[in-house]
Structure 1
């Protein structure tokens, strides 16, 4: 009988995110980027959409219903397991709770399974449509099990119950990262962090870990909104950490790629609002991780 038995772990990762029928976002980005990074990626859909959630018109939203939990159960039934999990957009709090239950069961089989969280739920101080404080609470309950949490500043504030503002100083961002670490995760990367110590127009990533590693890596800021950037960032950082890179090296790699990817995407879009064009950079990503794999990650 055919079996998906995976007793020997080999860089497998479960992506928990929505799938758009059209558009470069969410699972449509995670899967090709992680594959380029030499990882075997599996998708657990949280929601199926006709396009990305911010698209105009009569957006089609197809709920996974019981299929979400049934897929998790089936993988355990046939002894199919993963080295890591990357979470993104959850459709509801029950999905978060189900994943937590699944993760705890998987840890009994593989104590080293690593959870990477992109706690997608808001930006610019506000929840995205359909999200509320209950979602923030459930994501907070998942954080103690995470190897790495990658919120933007809005999401970090929503999780912690902090007031949001557009002009956080670097020392305040450091305090936010430290508070997230007290929830029990091993590492934190806050995206969209600015360096108020200089006047240059740059932003990037503030990172901190339980081991004391901390710092800021910035890249050039570009005027425009490129959707799918967060999914790309989360995928590259996660792959880099799995490959053994330090937090600093992970965000440096990501910043270097994003600094080229965003202006290229702006040049390809009809306005400064549009999708990220990651495809021309797949070869660069693949080359980097192929070399890492040859060195034994």
Structure 2
């Protein structure tokens, strides 16, 4: 009997507000993937709430890694997301080095809507580039892509040629596969775009999200489904399609209940969708 795939998720854990591990664990579990959390911090609620309580767990990450190495643990994927310090980035690099055969996925969480997060200094953004350099797959949003490339946030929609250029330039930093979310393409609205260096192929999927609906953990939702699909053998455009469709479903349902953005996506009732049949043919060549 073949066991399920195993992912080490180096992420924070928030008690209130669906994001990071509280999104990653149920999403990947529903797809038949085992999630082994490596918590970077524990919070009473995510940082979008006021007066949250936090316990930093940076000192936990390295001993956890050493324990896994002593046990001869196998991981099919190492997945990093929001990181709060240069030391945490160092620990992620150690994880990547310790499991060279694992798929290395970096969601370079640094900002959104054209601005970097307050906790991300220029130095920390630069260090994130070190993770990107050794990743197999990166999933920045358009803001984070601009930061990694040293570009201004695009004030106008990107043409297809510019979009392909951004994807290739990001792949030249190290990743074999690049997926950028929240890209406003000229003449086509919001898209997710992707590039597979091995086949030199470019893909796009239109985002049918609710305008103005932003919820915490949406990026975690997207990247988790992308990982689960790829680990199960889906092609890049199929995985992008599945991740986009599931994110759209969750955003629309959450918006219909007029939930505050801090609560995150109401994904619990939609998890069965991940194991049902879907006709995924919304992707096209970029």
Instruction: Answer yes or no: same fold by TM over 0.5.
Output: yes
Residue 76 (structure 1) aligned with residue 69 (structure 2): yes
The CA deviation at 1:274 is 4.6
Residue 159 of structure 1, CA deviation: 1.4
> Cα distance 1:51–1:169, how it changes in 2: closer, same or farther (>3 A)?
same
Query: Per the alignment, do residues 97 and 288 of structure 1 end up closer, same or farther by CA in structure 2, a change over 3 Å counting?
Result: farther
* 1:192-218, Cα deviation, whole Å (9 max, x unpaired): 0123124xxx42311012121102111
State the match for 1:245 in structure 2.
234
Would you say 1:67 and 2:57 are equivalent positions? no
1:203 aligns with 2:190: yes
Q: Kindly tell me: are residues 69 and 176 of structure 1, through their superposed partners in 2, closer, same or farther at Cα, counting changes over 3 Å? A: same
Match of 1:120 in 2: 109
Q: CA–CA distance in 2 between the matches of 1:38 and 1:195? A: 34
SS in 2 for 1:29: helix
Q: SS of the counterpart of 1:207?
A: strand
2:146 matched to 1:157? Answer: yes
1:191 corresponds in structure 2 to: 181
Tell me the matched-pair count: 274
Matches of 1:36 and 1:163 in 2, distance apart?
38
The answer to whether structure 1 residue 97 and structure 2 residue 90 are counterparts is yes
How far off is 1:280 after superposition? 1.4
Structure 1: distance between partners of 2:259 and 2:89: 37
TM-score of the superposed pair, with normalisation by structure 1: 0.87
* TM-aligned CA distance change 1:71 to 1:272, over 3 Å: closer
> Which residue does 2:247 correspond to in 1?
258
Contact 2:107-2:140 at 8 Å conserved across structures:
yes
CA distance in 2: counterparts of 1:118 and 1:288, whole angstroms: 27
* Counterparts of 1:155 and 1:163, CA distance in 2: 11
After TM superposition, the score normalised by the length of structure 2 is 0.90
Tell me: CA distance 1:19–1:194, structure 2 relative to 1, closer, same or farther (3 Å).
same
Which residue matches 2:30? 36
**CA shift for structure 1 position 288:** 5.3
Change (3 A) 1:274 1:266: farther
Q: Structure 2: how far apart are the matches of 1:93 and 1:60?
A: 21
Whole-Å separation in 1 of the counterparts to 2:225 and 2:175: 19
What's the CA shift for 1:287?
3.4
Aligned-pair distance for 1:256?
Answer: 1.9
Task: Specify whether residues 67 and 22 from structure 1 end up closer, same or farther in structure 2 by C-alpha distance, changes over 3 A only.
Answer: same
1:282 is aligned to 2:271:
yes
- Mapped contact 2:104–2:136 kept (Cα < 8 A): yes
Q: Secondary structure at the match of 1:220?
A: coil
Query: What RMSD over aligned residues (CA atoms) do the two structures have, in Å?
Result: 1.9
Checking the alignment, whether the CA contact within 8 Å between 2:80 and 2:92 is kept in structure 1 is: no
**Cα distance change, pair 138–257 in 1 and its aligned pair in 2 (3 A):** same
- Counterparts in 2 of 1:95 and 1:273: CA distance versus 1, 3 Å: closer
- In structure 2, the gaps of 5 or more residues are 279-286
User: What residue in structure 1 maps to residue 39 of structure 2?
Assistant: 45
Match of 1:179 in 2: 169
Q: How far apart, CA to CA, are the structure 2 residues paired with 1:281 and 1:209?
A: 29
Mapped partners of 1:288, 1:97: distance in 2: 40
1: CA distance, partners of 2:267 / 2:237: 22
